[in-house]
Structure 1
């Protein structure tokens, strides 16, 4: 068999990020078991598990069973979690409060947490996400080598949060006057063109959080924090689709299209949405719950029209991912009958 030389420690400062409470244990465990099976049993990237409440021994024991990688536990301080004024004003239910707090944390505070300061990249871990493809190259190393800031596999249309469209009007007017100029807004190399129609109204496109792999570099800038404070002051109402949409709003001034990568080779499902690659050469790596077909998402098609060459042929796939594959010890090569 082929002996694989595993690195003593991961070569990139990256982590899987879990934000969860005790009642989400089973869903988180399900996702982590698949991440380990499909990817991390080879690369051993650590997990940072953050919670606003003390996690039970049952939760921690489940994590220890699911992965051999290092697991770092931390709490989310009230100053990064509670949103009392808005919650009281809206007379929010417990479920609504949780949605508000989780999405607000991801949007404006996760990159500030002390346990994440030693990491440059994160892979967001959400409950009950299914991964359908084996990943045999280092995703984080790929992100670093290509100088990418955000990776995704599912693109969706925000339809349930009407307030997002009002927020975009306020936000875009602000950045046009305070940050950007018309030349930037109409520049086809920017991200602006993906989420707007002719640089004007928000079209609802966003990258789903089922697969969210990113750099925290641009989030740690004063400019990002300043824009987040503006959104808070504008009275944004956090909802189920809010944090990924707001992140996309703020990336419009930080990222260009070539900073963003579509992981076509990572099949993923959540909440009835599925992406699986249609390329025949990937069929041995992927086991999808439905016949392999191209994702019909309007937003995904829009992004692919803006950035060509995202679906690779087999030769391109091998060539581009090879530098991120684990080295093989030829001395350990054994022939078996």
Structure 2
């Protein structure tokens, strides 16, 4: 649902990508087989139109920290995911009666139909043609008949269309809209990406606190978020949703990035206030050391890129997350600043979940303009027919 971007500055992205490659290597330390890389991808694809002065500034590299209880299955130390295939190989019969209640969900506009079905074709070819999981499409406008007919033709599972309630896509009563408008004007003058966008702010607020409340989502336990234009590079020869549930994983990701600090100047202070008032929600085995370099004094900007996330809906429905979102919403940072759903989700997962419940899928191969994650291990790439190059920058 992001607004259309303008002309690209490749040089800055290339420099930024080098930082991210080093960062991605750090994330993959501890994995014996499949080490991911992340880089700017061209290959005849348009590169993100982000002005040079709007590129997020990477925080300093976070070292792997030793602890009495080593971090497992997290950015600091990752488990080998190449053994996932023992769930249900693509070449064998799939027992559909063993499926769990899960769906793909996309917040999408009618005009994004072409890039959406590109993403759906990738997901169907690589995964869902064997499992036939549902699709849920959400929009703040009514979907056109053309949109409905087209996506139904691409989907192997049931398809549902939902209209977002007006009060979930509008200003809350406590927001000073004149103040919000001035903030957008100031951010535009500073060259901050999406700084002057109203729709982007509504999207971030909706993805943070409302998509999981839509009545169409009520029946599901897990979801896989898809965005128009994304690609899955590798065959997925096991049921991801079932694997997540069987292994008690609540949140998963494929790429992590540093957030642009100018968009979230007070997010961490607002979070610390919430934790101080609600210490019971802080998990004893949390992942604080990944999002803060100074034991929680400041936020280093690290976040999971939320255009791909497979997660438990019960986590967002939990008392801890509901109250956390309400606290953030009352503070007004979605409109007075430009808080994104990615740092909000990431901070919540890092603080309220056991770090063993957070999983890095290093075996999928994933692309969203302008970055990708490709398995480094050649054996994995060949076995899973990964159409990507881990050295591509």
Which bin holds the TM-score, normalised by the shorter protein? 0.7 to 0.9
Alignment pair present for 1:49 and 2:137: yes
Alignment pair present for 1:274 and 2:364: no
Which is further off, 142-151 or 163-172? 163-172
Unaligned runs of 5+ in 2: 1-89, 186-193
- In 2, Cα distance between the equivalents of 1:101 and 1:175? 25
**Cα contact 1:277–1:293 (8 A) shared by 2:** no
- In 2, Cα distance between the equivalents of 1:3 and 1:174? 49
Alignment pair present for 1:172 and 2:272: yes
Following TM superposition, by how much is the alpha carbon of 1:87 offset from its aligned partner in structure 2, in angstroms?
5.2
TM-score (norm 2): 0.68
SS in 1 for 2:375: coil
Alignment pair present for 1:190 and 2:190: no
**Cα contact 1:155–1:207 (8 A) shared by 2:** yes
**Cα contact 2:96–2:131 (8 A) shared by 1:** no
- In 1, Cα distance between the equivalents of 2:278 and 2:348? 13
SS in 2 for 1:43: coil
Aligned with residue 386 of structure 2, among 266, 270, 287: 287
SS in 2 for 1:73: strand
- In 1, Cα distance between the equivalents of 2:373 and 2:101? 28
What do residues 226-263 of structure 1 show as CA deviations (whole Å, max 9, x unaligned)? Answer: 11111112221357771010112222442021001110
Aligned with residue 315 of structure 2, among 205, 209, 218: 218
Aligned to 1:155: 256
Following TM superposition, by how much is the alpha carbon of 1:165 offset from its aligned partner in structure 2, in angstroms?
3.8
Following TM superposition, by how much is the alpha carbon of 1:275 offset from its aligned partner in structure 2, in angstroms?
0.5
Which is further off, 84-93 or 33-42? 84-93
Alignment pair present for 1:36 and 2:112: no
Aligned to 1:325: none
SS in 2 for 1:118: coil
Aligned with residue 20 of structure 1, among 108, 111, 114: 108
- In 2, Cα distance between the equivalents of 1:121 and 1:15? 7
Alignment of 1:293-312 (within 5 A): 293=391
Aligned with residue 213 of structure 2, among 112, 119, 131: 112
SS in 1 for 2:160: strand
The number of residue pairs the alignment matches comes to 288
- In 2, Cα distance between the equivalents of 1:68 and 1:288? 22
Aligned to 1:264: 362
CA-based RMSD = 2.6
**Cα contact 2:274–2:324 (8 A) shared by 1:** no
Distance 1:139 1:146, change over 3 A: same
Distance 1:86 1:191, change over 3 A: farther
Distance 1:37 1:237, change over 3 A: same
Following TM superposition, by how much is the alpha carbon of 1:191 offset from its aligned partner in structure 2, in angstroms?
1.8
SS in 2 for 1:142: helix
Unaligned runs of 5+ in 1: 296-337
